[in-house]
A and B are shown apart, each in its own frame.
Chain A
Amino acid sequence: MNVENLERALAEIGLHGIVEVRGSLAVLRMDAEGGLADDELRFRAVDAAERHGFTHLALEVVDDADRAAIHRD
């Protein structure tokens, strides 16, 4: 499982965010839902997560209060 590679793969399909790893669950933190209501985009995102070794991909939309916490050292 490689979080940087997954973030890159997701960014390539227009999903720019930070991925948090919780076992084989990847949590994609973004500031909007990113058009993921679209089946095709969602399938591509899930497929990318699986190709990088994750069994689950979940979306967390963070509001203004949370936004400050979205950074990685």
Chain B
Amino acid sequence: MIEPQGMQATSLAHEKERALVAWLRERGSVLLGFSGGVDSAYLASVANEALGPDRVLAVIGRSPSYPAEQWRVARDVADQLGLRVAEIDTDEMHDPRYVSNPSNRCYFCKTELWSKLGPVARERGLAVVIDGTNADDIGGHRPGMRAAREHGVRSPLVEVGMTKRDIRERSRARGLPTWSQPSAPCLSSRVQYGLPVTTERLAAVERAERSLRDLGISGDLRVRHHGELARVELSREMLALWLNPLPMRMIIAAVRAAGFPRVTIDLRGFRSGSLNILNEVSAA
């Protein structure tokens, strides 16, 4: 019998999940770098079920680049799953190599994170430190992954070949509230390379994005920080709704109030890694 394509994909994702469970059981216990995003929430759910709550510790790294809203989601998901959670403060904002915002900025941030989580895992007798990197993340511009490798962090979702689509599908099947949540990278990813990352700039981005969400903008949304100028990226559906005179004025007013003198709307809309594309051309 020929199965519809969707069913084949579902069955494949389920198979990968079984491989993930086996992978986790082989390790016995894990410390998970936990952000409350789609990937780490799914991984936490599977790990908690496969190993039991005493053998899983989810650690949230807190810093000004981690949105407060994301922290609330992370805590809610953790409560829902019955996860053991710890929080640590990370100090990347005191590292001038990070603050200067080079294109490999993530390397310095993740180095800071993993160098703090490794000792926590050893102290608590947890076998391995894992993260929520997935198979789609391989090959892109991800300097943070080098830091993970250097610190012996494993990425089980990559190792069993789980893509973002697989993860969303299985998250939905598990009833996780994150299954349809847009990707939420750290706030520093909004700041144009070369423009120093400061707590003020991160706070302005966070205020602007929160205000736009409050207006009713849903789906993918980024406020890119280009100094005095903000460039708002919306999904295609939202562009068609919000590029009309009155809604557009509302966007401009909200983003100005968040601290940007100039407000622009990107006409192509949301693009993952948008600033990498700008940077590549500038570097060339």
How distant is A44 from chain B, measured CB to nearest CB, in Å? Answer: 10
A56 touches B231 (CB 8 A): yes
Number of interface residues of B (CB under 8 A): 26
The interface residues of chain B lying within 8 Å CB-to-CB of A37 are 239-244
Number of contacts between A and B (CB, 8 Å)? 66
Q: Does A27 contact B (CB under 8 A)?
A: yes
Per the bound structure, the CA–CA distance linking A42 and B266 in Å amounts to 10
Complex interface residues of chain A between 48 and 68 (CB less than 8 A to chain B): 49, 55-61
Q: Does B248 contact A (CB under 8 A)?
A: yes
Chain B residue nearest in CB terms to A60 = B264
Chain A interface size range: 20 to 34
A24 touches B267 (CB 8 A): no
A60 touches B245 (CB 8 A): no
A55 touches B236 (CB 8 A): no
Q: Does A32 contact B (CB under 8 A)?
A: yes
Per the bound structure, the CA–CA distance linking A37 and B94 in Å amounts to 43
Q: Does B282 contact A (CB under 8 A)?
A: yes
B243 touches A56 (CB 8 A): no
If A22-B226, A25-B226, A39-B236 touch, whether A58 touches B243 (CB-CB below 8 Å) is no
Top 8 A-B residue pairs of the complex, sorted by shortest distance between their CB atoms:
A58-B264, A24-B281, A37-B243, A60-B264, A23-B282, A57-B267, A58-B266, A36-B243
- Residue numbers of A with Cβ under 8 A of B are 22-25, 27-28, 32-33, 36-39, 42, 45-46, 49, 55-61
